[in-house]
Structure 1
Amino acid sequence: MQQIKWPLLFFAFAAASCMIGIGIAIGERSVLGVIACTVALIFVMGFGFKKKKKMREAGEL
Structure 2
Amino acid sequence: MKNGKWIFLLLAMMAALFIVLIGFSIGASSLTGVILSGIGVIAVFAIGFSQKKKMREKGLL
Shared fold per TM-score greater than 0.5: yes
TM-score by length of 2: 0.90
Unmatched runs of 5 consecutive residues or more in structure 1? none
Residue number in structure 1 paired with 2:49 = 49
Structure 1 residue 3: Cα displacement: 3.1
Q: Deviations over 1:8-52 (max 9, x none)?
A: 111111111110000110011100000000011111110010001
How many residues in Structure 1 have an aligned counterpart in Structure 2? 60
**Aligned AA (1:38):** G
Residue number in structure 1 paired with 2:8 = 8
TM-score by length of 1: 0.90
Shift >6 Å, 4+ stretches: none
Structure 1 residue 53: Cα displacement: 0.6
Q: Would you tell me which structure has more helix in proportion to its own residues?
A: 2
Residue number in structure 1 paired with 2:39 = 39
The sequence identity of aligned pairs, in percent, is 43
